[in-house]
Amino acid sequence: MAAAAAVAYVLAAIVVARGGARGLGPMVPAWGLHAAALAWGLLGSQPHFGFAPALSMTAWLVLTSYAVEHQLFPQMRTRWALCALGAVAVLLAALFPGRAMHVAASPWLALHLTLGIACYGLFAVAVVHAWLMGRAEQQMRRAADLSSTLPLLTLERLTFRFVAAGFALLSATLAVGWFFSEELYGRAWLWDHKAVFSVLAWLTFAILLVGRARMGWRGRRAARVLYAGALLLLLAYAGSRFVMEVVLGRGGWGG
């Protein structure tokens, strides 16, 4: 199923790159197969989760968000790079499915993971919009045709809306982890690398939102802070789980 989704994404990327389609039609089969592969990994007889499924779900959420926005803003192009991202993500999850989740896991774990993945998805969408914003700004400086992209102010407004929503979910994720750490992981809250990176990411996004509200941060400065926070957040879970699962060859849910 993952291989079929990857092939469908590659075919969609080729069609889009050659200018054969402006709508989302080529991406729909790949998007559906990707969703089915994710569901099989999470809802199958032996549910698995890890850094690669987390990245795969994040990529799927980015594609879903982009598809919704495409309906609201038809001038947004279908990007072949997003198709390539989906292909890499779904294959990565197939190669590294993660560790089996305990059947008797705390219900707080499901909430914690759901909030965390949704948070990853929102910030990933914000990063994509920040990249589009930077690209539109460059095109504007070169006096290029901007008819196929959103206005710069619209992109900026959407970027910060996703940042604000992601910040709210990140705050909720940290709160659940803090108050229910012993039930989630069998131990009280510890300042390990995952916790440190998560809090640093939270502080970075908080500074970004305050800078935007109080000092009018925008453009490249705001994008740099956003990229820094997104990198810290990526290291917090996906990075640490990659080290545990791939480099060290372990990754139990209590670790």
Q: What is the pLDDT of residues 83-127, one digit of tens each?
A: 889 999 999 988 888 777 665 556 667 777 888 899 999 999 999
**C-alpha to C-alpha distance for 240 and 1, rounded to whole angstroms:** 27
Residue 68 burial by Cβ neighbours in a 10 Å radius (0-12, 13-18, 19+) = exposed
**C-alpha to C-alpha distance for 158 and 179, rounded to whole angstroms:** 32
- The 10s digit of each residue's pLDDT in 154-198 is 889 999 999 999 999 999 999 888 877 776 666 666 777 888 999
Which pTM was predicted? 0.82
Selection from 137, 134, 154, 155 nearest residue 224 by Cα: 134
Cα dist from 36 to 45, 100, 129, 134, whole Å = 14, 18, 26, 34
The predicted pLDDT at position 238 comes to 82
**C-alpha to C-alpha distance for 24 and 66, rounded to whole angstroms:** 10
pLDDT greater than 80 at residue 26 = no
Selection from 119, 132, 111, 137 nearest residue 229 by Cα: 119
For 179, the 3-state DSSP assignment is helix
Cα dist from 72 to 68, 75, 150, whole Å = 7, 9, 11
Residue 175 has a CB neighbour count (10 Å cut-off) of 12
Residues forming a β-bridge with 100: 48
Pair 234, 166: CB distance under 8 Å: no
